[in-house]
Amino acid sequence: MSVCACLYMDIPSEIRLWGEHHLELDNPYRIIGDLMFDFIEETELTCMYSNLGRPSINPMILSLVTIFQYLEDIPDRTAALLVKTRLDWKYALHLPLDDAGFHYSDLCNFRQRLLAHSKDSLIFDQLLKKISSLGFLHKRGYQRTDSTHVLAVVRHLSRLENLSEGLRVAYAVLYGRKPSAQAIEKADAVFYQHKLPSLYKEHWSKPAVLSVETETSRVSDYQMTDDERKKELERLGKDIHWLLDFLSTNRQSFLSLPEVEVLDTLFSQHFTIHNKKEVVIKQKATTGKEKIQSACDRTRSPHDPEARYSTKRDKSWTGYAEGLATHGTAKVHVTETANEKGKVNFVVAGL
């Protein structure tokens, strides 16, 4: 894909006239349109594209829209719609009234292109450089650093859902339905077809990916009574124990598969073995402190085994841990200017 040379360096007259009448001088979109539209050096962007192929959406436009998304906390679909409908955005982007915009997937493709060319910090660095050149940042000023937690993009799963999904994912790997299962030869799949009990295969051979066809078959404890939930957990524990024991006896090498390791971890977190045979459900902690610590130690989803439950004061979330010992939430440290009251502050670093 080649770079599109179509870029309006001057604000179209009809948009400029509207902006001068309706946007205050300190409006961020007017400031961007008047002073910061060309904040990225052209060579920084063109090196990510080929000289051949279909012209792309101009990367300067996509860079600015990416910033607008952060300012307003909106997804790609909404951002693409606002490019066509928001006049203040058109002012900042130097777009005419009749501009048709672009497809929302272009934003995702642009971010992937930045990552592929190791330019993930390009927009931030170039924007900071432009702000500094305009005199918004002063040398030897005050700064402050704070941190915020990192959220995991996982669905909340109950105990039963978490365990059943872990088993379903592991089973999908053993049957070659996931990329990490490429090391499993066809002969091994045939081996499992003959060894696994028919009832076991019937219940767990459904795809691990949620879709319209499989949503109704996903194990859930919604509207279950306590007795029904306990009975289902006991059956699930026996199924997991049987599979892990089966692998340790017949195919020990498969125990090192990431999905099987996660399943083993889930089993040890929720079950114990009595008399080397009986699978017993571990009782949940009852006291407040022990209950929170137990939740922080457990795997929250087989699709993201590093995600952990965390809490601070009256807030709780599922995110990432800094260390296996404490499971403290990983932090993003942000540094911003600390100017006098009433003046604009800028984020100048992030780690």
Q: For 88-119, write each residue's pLDDT tens digit.
A: 999 999 999 998 899 999 999 989 988 888 88
Residue 143: inside a domain, yes or no?
Answer: no
Range of the domain at 301: 159-307
Residue 342: inside a domain, yes or no?
Answer: no
- Pair (119, 199) in one structural domain: no
pLDDT band, residue 74 (cuts 50/70/90)? very high
Q: Which helix (H) or strand (E) holds 311?
A: strand 307-312
Rounded CA-CA distance 83/103 in Å is 10
Rounded CA-CA distance 325/294 in Å is 13
Four-point Cα dihedral 191, 197, 198, 204, nearest 10:
-90
Beta partners for 273? 279
Q: What's the confidence (pLDDT) of residue 213?
A: 34
Domain stop point among 90, 105, 136:
136
- Pair (171, 291) in one structural domain: yes
Rounded CA-CA distance 143/339 in Å is 8
Range with lowest mean pLDDT among 25-29, 75-79, 152-156, 207-211: 207-211
Q: What's the confidence (pLDDT) of residue 204?
A: 53
Residue 119: inside a domain, yes or no?
Answer: yes
Most confident of the following: 6-15, 142-151, 230-239: 230-239
Residues 192-212 have pLDDT tens digits of 555 555 545 555 554 433 333
Task: Work out the mean pLDDT of the chain and round it to a whole number.
Answer: 77
- Pair (72, 172) in one structural domain: no
pLDDT higher than 90, residue 173: no
Residues 6 or more apart from 2 whose CB is under 8 A from it? Answer: 49, 50, 51, 52, 53, 54, 55, 56
- Pair (202, 285) in one structural domain: yes
Q: What's the confidence (pLDDT) of residue 179?
A: 47
Q: What's the confidence (pLDDT) of residue 328?
A: 44
Residue 312 has phi, psi (to 5 degrees) of: -150, 120
- Pair (126, 202) in one structural domain: no
- Pair (78, 28) in one structural domain: yes
- Pair (242, 168) in one structural domain: yes
Q: What's the confidence (pLDDT) of residue 78?
A: 95
Domain stop point among 269, 287, 307:
307
Q: What's the confidence (pLDDT) of residue 282?
A: 85
Range with lowest mean pLDDT among 17-31, 143-157, 261-275: 143-157
Q: What's the confidence (pLDDT) of residue 47?
A: 80
- Pair (57, 195) in one structural domain: no
- Pair (206, 282) in one structural domain: yes
Rounded CA-CA distance 253/249 in Å is 10
pLDDT band, residue 298 (cuts 50/70/90)? confident
How much of the chain exceeds pLDDT 90, in percent? 17
- Pair (55, 98) in one structural domain: yes
Domain stop point among 103, 136, 169:
136
Lookup: tokens for 344 = 């604009």
Residue 295: inside a domain, yes or no?
Answer: yes
Q: Specify the number of domains making up the chain.
A: 2
The predicted model gives 294-301 an average pLDDT of: 78
Four-point Cα dihedral 56, 59, 65, 70, nearest 10:
120
Residues 306-348 have pLDDT tens digits of 888 877 777 777 887 554 334 444 567 778 877 766 566 777 7
Q: What's the confidence (pLDDT) of residue 217?
A: 46
CA distances from 167 to 188, 221, 240, 315 (A): 18, 16, 7, 31
Q: What's the confidence (pLDDT) of residue 87?
A: 94
Q: What's the confidence (pLDDT) of residue 10?
A: 85
pLDDT band, residue 291 (cuts 50/70/90)? low
pTM comes to 0.57
Residue 315: inside a domain, yes or no?
Answer: no
Match 């440290």 to its residue by tokens.
333
pLDDT band, residue 85 (cuts 50/70/90)? very high
Q: Which of 253, 270, 255 is nearest to 164 (CA)?
A: 270
pLDDT band, residue 289 (cuts 50/70/90)? low
Burial category of 330 from C-beta neighbours within 10 Å (exposed 0-12, middle 13-18, buried 19 and up): middle
Range with lowest mean pLDDT among 42-51, 222-231, 321-330: 321-330
- Pair (109, 227) in one structural domain: no
